[in-house]
Amino acid sequence: MNLFRRFNSKIASTLVHPGRSFLILLTLAVIFVFLILPLLVVFTEAFAQGWKVYKSAILQPDTVAALHLTLLVVSIAVPLNVLFGIAASWAITRFDFHGKNLLLTLIDIPLAVSPVVAGMMYVEVFGLHGWLGDWLSLHNLHVIYAVPGIVLATVFVTFPFVARELIPFMQAQGSDEEIAAVALGARGFSIFWRVTLPNIKWALLYGTILAAARSVGEFGAVSVVSGHVRGRTTTLPLQVEMLYNEYSFTEAFAVASLLTLAAVFTLAIKTFIEITTERRADRNVSGEDR
C-alpha cells in the first residue's frame, strides 16, 4: 500500500493530467448512481411510514426468528471457516506434498460455482431422494429444509474466504520465526499460539470478517436448501425476498436495512484493519531503512 502511494505521487508529479477531472467525476457519478442512490432508497423506503412502522416491522416474530437463525448460522459457519482456513493455509505454506496445487484450486471452487448450483448439490446428496436420503430418514435426521442444510450451504459458499486471505500472507512471511521457535525448544501448539497466531492475526481477522459478511448475506445456496418455512428455516435475506413478494414493501425494506447496516459495519471494520496493518507496514519500512 505504502509503495503504491509513493508510486502514485510519482505519476502525479511526472505526468500532465489530461482528463483528470473528467475521470474522477465519471467514477463518482457511477458510484453515486449504482451504489449510493440504491442504498439511500433502502433507508428512505424503510422509514417511509415512520419510525413506529419500521420498529414493528423489525420486531415481527418471523423477522426476529429470521435474525436469530441468521446469527446461529453465522456463529457455526464462521468458526468452521476459521478452523479450516488456518489448517489449509498452514498445510499449504509450511509443508511440501503432492497435489498441493490441486488443493489450492479446489479451495477456489466455491467462488467459481454459482451458489444455486451449490444448493442443488446439497439437495441431491442430503435430500429425501438424494444419495444419503434413505439413511438420513431412517435415523430421523433432517438436513434439507432444516437448519443443518442452511449451515452446510453457508459453509460451502464461504469456504475459501479465510484460507485465501491467509495463504499469500503466510507465504510472504515464511517460516523463519517458527523454525527459530523450534530451535528454542517450543513445541507444536505453543509455536502456533505464541509465534504464528500473533503474526497472522490481522489477516485472519480480515478473512473472518469477509466470511461473516458473506454468511449473513448469502441468498442463492440457502434459498435452495431452506424450503422457506416462515419463522423456522428463513434467514434474513430470504425474509426480505418473501416480504417483498408479498408486496409488504416497507417491511421488506426495513429488514433489508438491517442487512445494509451489517454491510456498512463490516466495511468499517475492514477499513480499520487495513489502516492498522498499513501503519505496521510503514513502521517496518522505516525500521529497514536504518
Binding residues (CB under 8 A) for other proteins: these are 176-177, 179-187, 190, 194-195, 198-199, 283-284, 287-288, 290
Least distance in angstroms from the C-beta of 95 to other proteins: 15
Q: Phi, psi at residue 65, to the nearest 5°?
A: -60, -40
In the block, residue with C-alpha cell 457519478: 29
Q: What is the smallest separation between the CB atom of 197 and other proteins, expressed in angstroms? A: 10
Q: Which is nearer to other proteins, 51 or 189 (CB)?
A: 189
Query: Is there a contact between 205 and 161 (Cβ–Cβ < 8 Å)?
Result: no
CB 73 within 8 A of CB 158: no
- Give the nearer residue to other proteins in terms of CB position, either 48 or 180: 180
Pick 139 or 290: Cβ nearer other proteins: 290
- Shortest distance (Å) from residue 227 CB to other proteins: 47
**What's the first-to-final CA gap in the chain, in angstroms?**
21
* Cβ at position 5, least distance to other proteins in Å: 19
Provide the minimum distance between the beta carbon of 166 and other proteins in the complex, in angstroms, as a whole number. Answer: 16
The string of DSSP codes covering the chain is -HHHHHHHHHHHHHS--TTHHHHHHHHHHHHIIIIIHHHHHHHHHHTTTHHHHHHHHHTSHHHHHHHHHHHHHHHHHHHHHHHHHHHHHHHHHH---TTHHHHHHHHTHHHHS-HHHHHHHHHHHHSTTSTTHHHHHHTT---TTSHHHHHHHHHHHHTHHHHHHHHHHHHHH-SHHHHHHHHTT--HHHHIIIIIHHHHHHHHHHHHHHHHHHHHH--HHHHHHH---TTTS--HHHHHHHHHHTT-HHHHHHHHHHHHHHHHHHHHHHHHHHHHHHHHHHHHHHHHH-
CB of 40 to other proteins, least distance (A): 42
Instruction: Compare residues 11 and 176 and give the one whose CB is closer to other proteins.
Output: 176
| Closest to other proteins by CB, 5 or 194 | 194
Q: How far is the CB of 179 from other proteins (least distance, A)?
A: 7
Q: Which is nearer to other proteins, 53 or 273 (CB)?
A: 273
CB atoms within 10 A of CB 118: 23
CB nearer other proteins, residue 100 or residue 194: 194
The three cell numbers locating residue 125: 446428496
Least distance from other proteins to the Cβ atom of residue 120, Å: 45
Q: Grid cell 500473533 — which residue?
A: 198
Nearer to other proteins, 78 or 203 (CB): 203
